[in-house]
Chains A and B, each alone.
Chain A
Amino acid sequence: MTSIAKPLVRHKQSRTNALGLTIRDYEGGMSTLCAGCGHDSVTAALIQAAWELDLEPHRVGKMSGIGCSSKTTAYFMKQSHGFNSVHGRMPSVTSGAAAANRTLTYIGISGDGDSLSIGLGQLSHAIRRNVNMLYVLENNGVYGLTKGQFSASADVGSKSKKGEANEQSPIDPVLLALTLGATFVARSFSGDKKQLVPILKAGLKHKGFGLVDVISPCVSFNDHEGSTKSYAFTREHEVEVVHTDFVPLRREITMPETEEDVAVVQMHDGVSLRMRSTSEQYDPTSRDSAYAHVRACQARGEIATGLLFVDESGRDMHDMLNTPPTPLVEVPFERLCPGRDELEALMERYR
C-alpha cells in the first residue's frame, strides 16, 4: 500500500518488551490517511497491543481487503508479513492461510464496506467456521476511498455530507456476529484507546474468531452534524457496558482471583480476562444476555461498547476440520502425502 517510510530513531531510554523490542519496532510506514482519521488511532492501539503481548513480528500475518481500513496494514508492524487481497475477500484468504499454517497470528483489518456489503458472506462464514484470527472492523458508515457513499452500517436517518438521510436499515456487525455464533464479540471506539487496547489483546489471545467492531469516524465524509458515526455523536452516545482488563500470565499472581461483580474468563496461554459489567443484569458470558442488552442500548440510541461476549470453550476451524497440530507447511512430504507404498495400496482398490 502507499506509505511513507518512517525513520527509525531509537532512544536509549525506550522501554522494551520481553523480546527486547521497543514500541517503535511495531510501527509501520507513515499513514497517508486523512489527518484525524479514526483508523490511525486504531493502528496506534494495535501497535500498543502487539508490543505489550510480545508478539514475534515475523510470525504475524496482517490480512486485509480493499478500502481505507484495508490500507492500514501498511501503517503497523512493518516487520510482519501481510496480504492485501481483494475487496471483501480477506476472510477466505485468511482461512486458507490459517489452514496451511495454524501457528501464525492473523490480524484481519477490514471496514464496513469491505465486511458488511461486498464481503458480508465471507465475514459470516469466517465467523461460522471460527477461524482463529483477530478481525478488526473499522466502522465509519461511509465509503471513504470513493468519496462518501453510505455503507451498510449507516444508521437510518444519518445524514451524508450533502445532507441526504439514509433510509435503509443498518447491518450491526455485533448483533450479526452474536446471531451467527461468534465466540468473541466486542465493540469499541477509536477515540477510546484505554478501552480498545485490552480488547485487542484479548481478541489476539482468543482461540477462534475475535470480532472487534470499532467505531472509527471518517473526518472527510462522515464527521459532520447529523451523522451518527461522527466523533461528537459517538462520544455522546457511547455506553461502556463491560469494562475489561487483560491480565497477562506473569502478572496474574498479583491480581486478586475473584472480586464482586467481576467475571474472570480464562484464556489459553494462561492469560485471563477480568470483565466488570456496568449493569447488574448483564452477563458477558451469556449470548442471550449480550444480544438483549445490545438491542436495548440500540433502542435507547446508545452505542454499547466493551467486550460484549466471550466464549473460550468454542471449537475453532482446526478442531472442526480435525487437522494435525503441526502446521501443514512444516509437515514433511513423507508424512503428509501417503507416500509411495500407501499410494500403491490406494491404487490396489482400482486394480
Chain B
Amino acid sequence: MLRVHPAMRGIVTVANHVAGPADAASPGRPHTVHRMREHTVEVVSDSGEGAQKCSQIFGAVSAKMGNGVWTVEIIPAEIQPPARAPEGASGNRIRLGAGQVTNWGDDTNLVVAFNEQVLLARHRAGALARDATILLEDKWATDDDADIRDAWLQAMREIADVGYRVVTVPMEERCLTLVDDARKGKNMFALGMLAFIYQRNLDLVFEQIAHTFRKKSDAVYARNVDLVRLGYDWAGAHLDFRIEITPEPNDRPMVVMNGNEAIGMGAIASGMELCAMYPITPATSVSHYLSEVFERFGGVVHQAEDEIAAAGVAIGASYAGKVAFTITSGPGLALKTEFLGLAVMTEVPLVVVNVQRGGPSTGLPTKVEQSDLLAALFAQPGDAPRVVIAPATIEECFHVMTTARRIAEAFRAVVIVLSDANLATGVQPFPRPEVDTRWHAEPADLSAVLAGRKPYGWDESTGLSRRIVPGQRGGMHTVTGLSHDEGSKVAYSAGVHGRGMAMRSRKIAVLSSLLTPPTPYGAEEGDLLIVGWGSTKGAIEEAVDRARAAGLSVASLHLRFLSPMEPGLTAIFQRFRRVATVEINYSDTMGDPYVTEENRRRGQLSWLLRAQTLVDVDCWTRVPGEPLRPGAIVQAMHDLMPPRGDA
C-alpha cells in the first residue's frame, strides 16, 4: 500500500503523468504504464550506503536492454562525510532514452532517496523536476531521536510547495526481514524497485550483480538477489505506475563503460603498455583498470612517489624505446610542468592524460570543470609547443588514446589529452570498436644506427626526425634539456637555439596541415555559432536542436584539436553573425563591477579563438561543479542572439 506518514498529509501531490492514488486493497492491482521517450532517475544516499552501486547496475542493465543511457555520479568530496547531511549526498543520475543519450539532461523525474537530507541536497541543487516522483525512506519520520523527527518535518516543509509526488517507502523495515544491517541492503532493495518501475529484465539484473560482486562470496550474491526481489515485489504491490521506454532498434554490438575505462582500454588497444601515475581524483580509476588487465598481458602500471616522478618515469620509458603515458588531474599537471618542458626539448614522445576537475589548487576534486585548457597549451616557461586533444564523448575517450600515441610517436611530441570528471565517471553505451591492426605499435627499432645519422636529424621542411634509443649500436648521444643542435650537442649560440625552436614548432604546423576542417552542427550559416570543446558536446548539440525547433538560427561547432587548432575556423566563423563559446570554466560577465571589454577575462577557448582568428568571439561559461544542462544552454543561446538588424 501507499504509505503516507501523517506529517506528510497535504504534501503528497500527484504529478500529471502519474496515475491517481493507489488502491490499497489489491496487491495485484493494475499499474498505469507511462510510455516515455526518455526519463531521468536518481538514487541518492549517505556515502557508503551503496546508492552508486545500485544505480551503476541499473544503468548497465538499461544499456544492455538497448536504452540510451548517460549516468553522472553525485559524489561528496570526503570519503566518509557525516551521515544524514545534504553535503554528504552520494549517488548517480541516470538519464534513459529510447535512442542515444548524449548528456545528463536538465532535471530528474524520479528519485530514490535513503533519507530526507540527501533529498534536500538534490532539491536545493535544483536537480529535480517540479513534478518529480520521490521514493523516500520513511523510517526517519518516526525515529526515536526527536532531532531527527524534527529535521524530517522541516525538510518536508521545505519541499512542500514544489509539486513533487512523495511516496514514502519502508526500505529499512523491509530489508531488516532479510539482513541484520539495512545499510548494507537498501541499495539492492532500491534496485529492485527500479527494476519493477522501468520493467527491467531480472535475469540481466542478476547477471550484472554477479559481475559487480564477482570478488565476493556466493552468499553475498544470493542475499543481494533476494533483496532485489524484495524491492521488486514491494513496488509491484504498492506502486500504481510503471514506465516504459522502448529502445529504438539497433543492430550494432555495443559496449558500456565510463570514460576512464574507455581511456584505459584505449591505451591497451593503442599499444602503450607503460602507465606511470600518482593517485589523484578523478583520474586514478584508469590505472586501476589497467593494472588489472596488465597483470594478465604484461605491461607496467608504475605508481610513482609523486606527480613529478610519474612524468619522469614515463619519459624514461619513452626514452628507452616505448611510448609511455601518465595520467593525472589539474594539480598533477601543475607539478608535471617541468618534465613536459624536458620532453618537448628532448623530443621524447609522451602522452599525458589530464582528467580535469575544478581548480585552481585543490579546487573541486570530484567535480567537472574545463579550466585546464590554457595550462595544457601554455603552462611552461619557455616556448614548448605541444599537441592538445580533447575527446568529446566516452567513445572518443577510447579512440583518442590511439591517436595520441601515434602523434606522440610520429612527431616525437608531447600530446596532452584533456578529459574531465564528467567523461571520467559518466557511463554510456557506444558501438563496440572494431580493432584495427593499423593501430598497432611496432617494437622499438634496436638495429645499428647508420653512420652519420643524427639524433635530431630534422627534416628542414617538417621538423621531423627519427629517434635513436639506448641499446642501439651507433648514434650515441646524450639527450639533454639544454638547447642543442642536430647531434644533441649543447650549443648556446643564438642561431642553434632559434633553429631548434623552429623545428619543434614546425611539427605542430605540419600536424595542423593534416587535420580536416570541422563541420558545424545544425546549420552551415546563421545568426549564432556556439563553439565548444570536450565533454559538453552532447548538451550543446541537444540545445541546438531545441533552440532550432524554437526558431532560433543557431548552430554549434565542436573542436577536438586545440593545439594545433583545426583549420578553417575563420571561414566558418564568418558565416555567422555572432560566435560564442560555451565552456565549463570561469569568465567575467559584462556589467560586473570594473569589468570592461578591454579587461574582461574570458572563457579559455574564447581567449584562444580570439587570438587565433581575430574574430570577436564572445563566451558563456559557468562553473557549477556539475555538467552543463541543455536547458541552460538554450537560455544562453537566447541571450547571446545578436539583435535583429545587427550586422
Contact = CB atoms under 8 A, between A and B. Distances in A.
Interface string A63-93: 0000000000110001111111110010111
A58 B471 contact: yes
B442 A81 contact: no
Interface string B305-334: 110111111111111111010000000000
Contacts of B477: 81-82
Interface stretch (B116-124, B176-184, B253-261): B253-261
B297 interface: yes
A89 B309 contact: yes
A62 interface: yes
Contacts of A81: 468-472, 476-479
Interface residues of B, number: 71
Which of A91, A96, A121, A125 has the most C-beta atoms of chain B within 10 angstroms of its own C-beta?
Answer: A96
Contacts, number: 212
A85 B433 CA distance: 39
B440 A333 contact: yes
Interface string B468-489: 1111111011111110000000
B365 to A, nearest CB: 23
Interface in B250-273: 253-257, 261, 265, 268-269, 271, 273
Nearest to B475: A81
Contacts of B440: 333, 337
A104 interface: yes
B64 interface: yes
A331 B300 CA distance: 13
A99 B300 CA distance: 8
B437 A99 contact: no
A85 B481 contact: yes
Contacts of B471: 58-59, 81, 101, 103-104, 329
A329 B338 contact: no
Contacts of A343: 265, 268-269, 435
A86 B481 contact: yes
A62 B478 CA distance: 8
A346 interface: yes
Interface in A232-288: none
B339 interface: yes
B375 interface: no
Contact of A92 (B304, B318, B321): B304
B443 A100 contact: no
Interface of B is mostly: mixed
B5 interface: no
A95 B316 CA distance: 7
Contacts of A84: 478-482
A335 B298 contact: yes
Contact of A73 (B298, B312, B478): B478
A137 interface: no
Given A2-B490, A343-B269, A79 B476 contact: yes
A61 interface: yes
Interface in A314-351: 321, 323-324, 328-333, 335-338, 340, 342-344, 346-347, 349-351
Contact of A338 (B254, B293, B482, B490): B293
A349 B480 contact: no
Contacts of A91: 309, 312
Nearest to A79: B476
Nearest to B479: A83
A248 to B, nearest CB: 24
B469 to A, nearest CB: 7
B344 to A, nearest CB: 12
A98 interface: yes
B15 interface: no
A227 B458 CA distance: 49
Contacts of A121: 305-306, 309
A324 B316 contact: no
Interface in A1-53: 1-2
Given A89-B312, A335-B298, A350-B255, A96 B274 contact: yes
Nearest to B429: A350
B157 to A, nearest CB: 45
A122 interface: yes
Contact of B297 (A83, A104, A337): A337
Interface residues of A, number: 58
A215 B432 CA distance: 61
Contacts of A57: 476
B595 interface: no
A58 B474 contact: yes
Given A59-B471, A62-B478, A331-B298, A96 B268 contact: no
B222 interface: no
B316 A336 contact: no
Interface in A164-188: none
A104 B293 CA distance: 27
B312 A85 contact: yes
A324 B312 contact: no
B273 A328 contact: yes
Nearest to B326: A96
A351 B256 contact: yes
A93 B315 contact: yes
B446 interface: yes
B302 interface: yes
Contacts of B319: 83, 93, 96-97, 100
A94 interface: yes
A248 B525 CA distance: 79
Contacts of B320: 61, 96-101, 104, 329
Interface string B417-461: 000000000000000110101001111101000000000000000
A180 to B, nearest CB: 12
A350 B312 contact: no
Contacts of A93: 312-313, 315-316, 319
26 contacts: A61-B470, A81-B472, A85-B342, A89-B312, A92-B304, A93-B315, A95-B316, A96-B315, A96-B317, A96-B318, A96-B319, A97-B319, A99-B274, A100-B316, A100-B319, A101-B321, A122-B305, A122-B308, A122-B312, A329-B444, A330-B446, A333-B442, A336-B298, A337-B440, A338-B268, A346-B265
The 3 closest A-B pairs by CB, nearest first: A96-B316, A92-B312, A82-B478
Interface of A: 1-2, 57-59, 61-62, 73-74, 78-86, 89, 91-101, 103-104, 121-122, 124-125, 321, 323-324, 328-333, 335-338, 340, 342-344, 346-347, 349-351
Interface of B: 64, 211, 253-257, 261, 265, 268-269, 271, 273-274, 276, 293, 296-300, 302, 304-306, 308-322, 324, 338-339, 341-342, 346, 432-433, 435, 437, 440-444, 446, 468-474, 476-482, 490
Given A83-B480, A337-B273, 16 more contacts: A58-B472, A79-B476, A83-B346, A83-B470, A85-B315, A93-B312, A96-B302, A100-B322, A101-B471, A324-B298, A328-B273, A330-B444, A333-B441, A336-B297, A337-B268, A343-B265
